[in-house]
Chains A and B, each alone.
Chain A
């Protein structure tokens, strides 16, 4: 998410593909990724998505994100392993028959963890490609072009405008609290949970409600939201490249699904091995 709003200060430059194409590709990719459960096709999807994300030339950031994901994977696997380990231990102590089942889960986690995580890679790649080329303003324009009804468009526009604002507010709030001699930290959540909640949430919620009132008045004065769809001043261009990339994505998706079906011929029950 920080990636999405990291470049909100940059001038709107539209490079390469239309944002709608990128959204479409994300959609196709995650649908296909969820369907696949054979190593071959998933790896192929991963490679294809890598080819798609590389032209953004943000290799360093890409590597950092991969590293973070790897770290998180190890961490969460460790947590899960510990969880079932301790459950097994507790059940063994109690002499329950279910201990064996917990033990089975424990070994199974390490044995078949690769598929869910391989599945994550393609989604991650397309997401990064989307967020690297993301600019809040082009995005808002794209929303208009998608002919979204106002009940989706208006809240999304407000969302895009106020996420950076809230991030700023949170930072200011943290400092204001610090100046009062309190800190909002990991420790304070445990030591003073009620006070921490009060110090953070009360000002933020009140600020949000006040902003809502003021923004609503300003919007009413401008008659924002009085018609179904606003005029689009700078239409986005949907070029040949977009159609081609989309076609390639769809064909690739179908191909990979077909590949998996072929591997699993004759049809068998899919699921846990």
Chain B
């Protein structure tokens, strides 16, 4: 079905190849995981598979790639007839405004008759069990539902290969489990899967092959017939050096927030609903946030995890009840001066022309002269951004950008740090740097409220859990 023989690729105007000596073969209905630290060449490999290389990106492709009987390179539309691609952020793939229309979109542009489109859309929606949201607007979907919509749109086109780029980056553990079931279902239908992901644990029992890349070259390749590729990887002596995520991940057992002794924030019988949607999020709800530790917020979709962060930073005001910061009620402005909130959307939190300027801009003007610059340099060093000081923040890679945004938040020297999915889409190395800095911050007395689906980050940092909803 897919075969790579001695494949190397060099981007235009680059001296060194980003991919070297890639060899693997995959049969119909099999699944392969391609993983490795950021910048290892995974994305480039995907671009070969979806035909963007060499159709969109020129450069030099060597070796032989065979895809469903085609000898690449072939025109893009011949590739896209066979390969369906799930890109990293489902939001950025939707062109239609409702689920059923998004699923039908590609078929419509292939000028398939309306009857046939309707039948195929129904089939695809049923296969992913999302018939109930067929008429829903894409703006109101959860991340898991968005992912399923993208998959349904692919299935409707009847691809023979499905390629997924970081499919679990934004998914909750429950949605990740559902995705695992979907992968098994696709394999059963004879669809070949190519998965690129940093998270490994969820793929147990799904994979037939595995390829770990580092600096564009394979450092590990699983043997067929030697057990689950994940177990083979776990047994490899050099595993630690590759900067991967853990092979085994369990949901950590955390103490309840009520078991702590010191509290920074006291929420007393608040009620809140958004004025627009009128949905009641909290009614007469009380909680205390442990001080000097990481508290993880636990709760399902729409339980009000992000809303809590918004109330704590004064972005929204509760309709009733009080919120005490250090035992005192504070004005939203004062609260915001003492908290830092790292939101999910990274692009809208970077404004300046260079990395260093970005950090200097985050300084609340408490320091003067050299001290300011030195603090900025300290954070640059601590977050492993050395050498990137003069780069444009928006030209950084995903992991570097996420580190920079958190460094900016810490530059503010807040009492409370709120993090909303700080490690989505990051490799083990980047996640470890962020986890270490979160721990260092709490050791110096800082309080952290952590909203995340990342079980590994929870394991490494969280001390308490705060349950919202049921």
Question: Are A and B close enough to touch in the complex, i.e. CB under 8 Å?
Answer: yes
Instruction: Output the nearest chain B residue to A180 by Cβ-Cβ distance.
Output: B362
- Asked whether B109 is an interface residue with its Cβ less than 8 Å from the other chain, the reply is yes
Number of interface residues of B (CB under 8 A): 60
Give the distance in Å from the alpha carbon of A214 to the alpha carbon of B344 in the complex. Answer: 18
The interface-forming segment of A76-84, A124-132, A201-209 is: A201-209
Instruction: Output the nearest chain A residue to B91 by Cβ-Cβ distance.
Output: A165
Q: Which of B91, B340, B347 contacts A179 (CB 8 A)?
A: B340
- Asked whether B181 is an interface residue with its Cβ less than 8 Å from the other chain, the reply is no
Q: Is the CB of B93 within 8 A of A203?
A: no
- Asked whether B349 is an interface residue with its Cβ less than 8 Å from the other chain, the reply is yes
CB distance from B447 to the nearest CB of A (A): 16
Q: Is the CB of A136 within 8 A of B109?
A: no
Give the distance in Å from the alpha carbon of A177 to the alpha carbon of B336 in the complex. Answer: 11
Given A140-B101, A223-B77, A214 contacting B348 (CB threshold 8 A):
no
- Asked whether B343 is an interface residue with its Cβ less than 8 Å from the other chain, the reply is yes
Q: Is the CB of A203 within 8 A of B347?
A: yes
CB distance from A200 to the nearest CB of B (A): 9
CB distance from A6 to the nearest CB of B (A): 10
Given A9-B137, A217-B52, A172 contacting B76 (CB threshold 8 A):
no
Instruction: Output the nearest chain B residue to A204 by Cβ-Cβ distance.
Output: B348
Q: Is the CB of B313 within 8 A of A179?
A: yes
Give the distance in Å from the alpha carbon of A230 to the alpha carbon of B52 in the complex. Answer: 24
CB distance from B410 to the nearest CB of A (A): 13
Query: Which residues of A does B touch, CB under 8 Å?
Result: 8-12, 136-137, 140, 157-158, 160-161, 164-165, 168-169, 172-173, 175-181, 198-199, 202-204, 206-207, 210-211, 214-215, 217-227, 229-235
25 CB < 8 A contacts A-B: A9-B139, A9-B140, A11-B135, A11-B136, A12-B98, A137-B97, A140-B96, A157-B96, A161-B94, A165-B91, A175-B343, A179-B341, A179-B343, A202-B351, A206-B347, A211-B92, A218-B92, A218-B95, A220-B80, A222-B80, A226-B109, A231-B108, A231-B112, A231-B114, A232-B108
CB distance from B131 to the nearest CB of A (A): 14
Query: Which residues of B does A touch, CB under 8 Å?
Result: 50, 52, 56, 76-77, 80, 83-85, 87, 89, 91-98, 101, 104-114, 117-118, 121, 135-137, 139-140, 153, 157, 313, 315, 336-337, 339-341, 343, 345, 347-352, 361-362, 364, 394
Q: Is the CB of A161 within 8 A of B101?
A: no
Of B56, B97, B341, B343, most buried by chain A (CB within 10 Å of CB) is: B97
Q: Which of B87, B91, B117 contacts A231 (CB 8 A)?
A: B117
Give the distance in Å from the alpha carbon of A175 to the alpha carbon of B420 in the complex. Answer: 14
Given A198-B351, A210-B347, A222-B105, A8 contacting B94 (CB threshold 8 A):
no
Chain A residues closer than 8 Å to B137, beta-carbon distance: 8-10
Q: Is the CB of A222 within 8 A of B118?
A: no
Chain B residues closer than 8 Å to A8, beta-carbon distance: 97, 137, 139
CB distance from B46 to the nearest CB of A (A): 11
Given A161-B97, A169-B348, A210-B347, A218 contacting B87 (CB threshold 8 A):
yes
CB distance from A148 to the nearest CB of B (A): 14
Q: Is the CB of A218 within 8 A of B348?
A: no
Beyond A230-B109, A231-B112: 16 further Cβ-contacts under 8 Å? A11-B135, A12-B135, A161-B94, A161-B97, A172-B343, A175-B315, A181-B364, A199-B351, A203-B347, A207-B347, A214-B87, A218-B85, A220-B80, A223-B110, A224-B109, A234-B114
CB distance from A154 to the nearest CB of B (A): 9
Q: Is the CB of A158 within 8 A of B52?
A: no
Q: Is the CB of A227 within 8 A of B109?
A: yes
Chain B residues closer than 8 Å to A235, beta-carbon distance: 114
Q: Is the CB of A223 within 8 A of B109?
A: yes
Give the distance in Å from the alpha carbon of A140 to the alpha carbon of B98 in the complex. Answer: 11
Given A181-B336, A210-B347, A231 contacting B97 (CB threshold 8 A):
no
Q: Is the CB of A224 within 8 A of B351?
A: no
CB distance from A12 to the nearest CB of B (A): 7
Q: Is the CB of A219 within 8 A of B50?
A: no
Instruction: Output the nearest chain B residue to A222 by Cβ-Cβ distance.
Output: B106
Give the distance in Å from the alpha carbon of A207 to the alpha carbon of B352 in the complex. Answer: 14
Q: Is the CB of A172 within 8 A of B112?
A: no
Q: Which of A160, A169, A210 contacts B97 (CB 8 A)?
A: A160
Instruction: Output the nearest chain B residue to A7 by Cβ-Cβ distance.
Output: B137
Instruction: Output the nearest chain B residue to A136 by Cβ-Cβ distance.
Output: B97
Q: Is the CB of A137 within 8 A of B98?
A: yes
CB distance from B165 to the nearest CB of A (A): 11
Give the distance in Å from the alpha carbon of A37 to the alpha carbon of B185 in the complex. Answer: 69
Q: Is the CB of B337 within 8 A of A181?
A: yes
Given A220-B80, A222-B157, A176 contacting B343 (CB threshold 8 A):
yes
Q: Is the CB of B313 within 8 A of A233?
A: no
Chain B residues closer than 8 Å to A10, beta-carbon distance: 137
CB distance from B309 to the nearest CB of A (A): 10
Given A161-B97, A176-B349, A220 contacting B340 (CB threshold 8 A):
no
Give the distance in Å from the alpha carbon of A235 to the alpha carbon of B91 in the complex. Answer: 27
Chain A residues closer than 8 Å to B96, beta-carbon distance: 137, 140, 157, 161
CB distance from B261 to the nearest CB of A (A): 29
Give the distance in Å from the alpha carbon of A233 to the alpha carbon of B350 in the complex. Answer: 42
Chain A residues closer than 8 Å to B94, beta-carbon distance: 161
Q: Is the CB of A178 within 8 A of B315?
A: yes
Of A215, A222, A227, most buried by chain B (CB within 10 Å of CB) is: A222
Q: Is the CB of A225 within 8 A of B340?
A: no
Chain B residues closer than 8 Å to A231, beta-carbon distance: 107-108, 111-114, 117
Instruction: Output the nearest chain B residue to A232 by Cβ-Cβ distance.
Output: B114
3 tightest A-B CB contacts, nearest first: A222-B106, A230-B108, A218-B93
Chain A residues closer than 8 Å to B83, beta-carbon distance: 221
Q: Is the CB of A220 within 8 A of B76?
A: yes
Chain B residues closer than 8 Å to A204, beta-carbon distance: 348
Given A218-B87, A225-B109, A172 contacting B77 (CB threshold 8 A):
no
Give the distance in Å from the alpha carbon of A268 to the alpha carbon of B121 in the complex. Answer: 64
Q: Which of B52, B97, B109, B313 contacts A222 (CB 8 A)?
A: B109
Chain B residues closer than 8 Å to A173, beta-carbon distance: 348
